[in-house]
Amino acid sequence: MSLVTTDFKDHMGILTLNHPEKRNALSKALIQDLVSGLREMKQAGARTVILRAPQGVQVWSAGHDIQELTVGGHDPQTYADPLRQAVRAIERFPAPVIAMIEGGVWGGACEMVMSCDLIFATPESTFAITPARLGVAYSIDGTLNFMKTVGLPLLREMLFTADPITAERAVQYGLINHILPADELERFTFGIAGRIARNSPLCISLLKEELRILAEAHPLTPEAFERLQNLRRALYSSEDYQEGLQAFFQKRTPDFKGR
Ligand code: LCV
């Protein structure tokens, strides 16, 4: 059974995350279905795609599948990591992807949502960036993606505390576009999607790609990149990284020693 269901009507694609038992954790399998759903929507000629979870969920997505994070000195978040594949697929999709959010958005799912072009959420939705809770070396690309949307003061707070922020704060700081009551979210989202679908798809596709390329125009020196790689390697080879994962599996609070 697919972990992401697809639907297509009136030039609009709808992708629904559908693995409630694992709180829509972004496993390899789920991401594979998501990426192939996007491919299907592209072939169908979608002029916009709505990415959602089933109505009424408490957790939109619990983020990276923690069971699939690598241990033993390997970088857990490489270029080939499923989350990176999902982010690239959304960013390079030739039409706007709209995230429609109800419930908690955790860790990697928060980055995935931020890579969408527009984000509409209910007041009860929350957003958390969690590497510090797990002791994970967060991907460099992921950090840069957040810096494109979130100002540094809020980003530092989210990264250092790993606490969820409310939809109200998220809209106030420009992380998301609109907050709608749960019973209006769908109508509002489909209304905007319909308006986008009636505009020039070629023009919108060009604008999306232009924004992506311009937002990425920040060259990094090889020395700076290698320094970041060194720092990341130290973290994912640490006892604390093992402790963060063990604590999650054992359903307890981690006891980080700083080594
Ligand atoms: C695998 C899971 C997960 C999960 N993976 O339900 O950005 S980074 O660097 O942090 C990156 C590495 C990342 O994204 O990491 C993941 C960040 N996510 C989190 O820290 C959230 C972890 N999950 C939770 O705190 C809770 O599950 C929430 C609050 C989301 C939902 O709580 P709830 O009581 O509704 P359970 O905890 O009972 O979860 C139901 C099942 O889903 C699994 C979890 O282990 C449980 O499995 P079992 O039924 O086999 O016990 N699950 C939840 N999240 N990220 N598996």
As separate numbers, helices (DSSP H) first and strands (DSSP E) second, the chain gives 11, 10
User: Could you tell me the distance, in angstroms and rounded to a whole number, from the CA of residue 244 to the centre of ligand 1?
Assistant: 13
Ligand 1 centroid distance, CA of 2 (Å): 20
Burial call 234-256: b when 16+ CB within 10 Å, e when fewer? ebbebebbebbbebeeeeeebeb
Q: Domain total for the chain? A: 1
Q: Best substitution site from 106, 124, 134 to test ligand 1's pocket, by max atoms within 8 Å of Cβ?
A: 106
The answer to whether residue 98 is domain-embedded is yes
Q: Please name the residues in contact with 164: beta carbons below 8 A apart, sequence gap of 6 or more.
A: 104, 106, 126, 127, 128
Residue 64 known to be catalytic:
yes
Instruction: Answer yes or no: is 188 within a domain.
Output: no
Give the per-residue pLDDT at 62: 98
19 catalytic? Reply is no
Q: Output 219 or 100, whichever has higher pLDDT.
A: 100
CATH of the domain at 105: 3.90.226.10
Phi, psi at 121, each rounded to 5°: -145, 160
Q: Which of 13, 63, 107, 108 is the catalytic position? A: 108
64, 107, 142, 236: the catalytic one is: 64
- Which region among 4-8, 15-19, 226-230 has the lowest average model confidence (pLDDT)? 226-230
Query: Does ligand 1 lie within 6 Å of residue 104's CB atom?
Result: yes
Q: Is residue 112 part of a domain?
A: yes
Q: Is 173 a catalytic residue?
A: no
Rounded CA separation 208/254 (Å): 41
The pLDDT of residue 77: 65
**Prediction pTM value:** 0.93
| Whole-number pLDDT of residue 243 | 93
Does residue 218 register a pLDDT over 80? no
Give the tens place of pLDDT for each residue, 105-123.
999 999 999 999 999 999 9
In this prediction, residue 232 carries a pLDDT of 87
Determine which residue's CA is closest to atom 48 belonging to ligand 1. Answer: 22
Which of 9, 3, 1, 114 lies closest to 53 in space, CA to CA? 3
Residue 153 within any structural domain of the chain: yes
C-alpha pair distances (Å), 163 with each of 38, 132, 179: 31, 10, 20
> Where in the sequence is the domain holding 108, given as residue range(s)?
1-182+200-259
CA of 44 to the centre of ligand 1 (A): 34
Q: Taking 80 as the threshold, does the pLDDT of residue 29 lie above it?
A: yes
Residue 95 located in a structural domain: yes
pLDDT digits (tens, 9 = 90+) for 123-157: 999 999 999 999 988 888 889 889 988 899 999 99
pLDDT in tens, 44-103: 999 999 999 999 999 999 999 999 987 766 766 677 788 999 999 999 999 999 999 999
Q: Do 168 and 125 touch, CB atoms closer than 8 A?
A: no
pLDDT in tens, 221-250: 889 888 888 888 888 889 999 999 999 999
Question: Ligand 1: does its nearest atom lie under 6 Å from the Cβ of 134?
Answer: yes
Ligand 1 neighbourhood includes 164 CB (under 6 angstroms): no
Residue 43 has pLDDT above 80, yes or no: yes
Strand residue runs (E) in the chain:
4-9, 12-17, 48-52, 59-61, 97-101, 104-106, 118-121, 126-128, 165-166, 178-179
CA distance 86 to 28: 10
Query: 19 CA distance to ligand 1 centroid (A)?
Result: 12
Tell me the pLDDT tens digit for each residue of 175-204.
999 999 999 999 999 999 999 999 999 999
Residue 192 lies in a domain: no
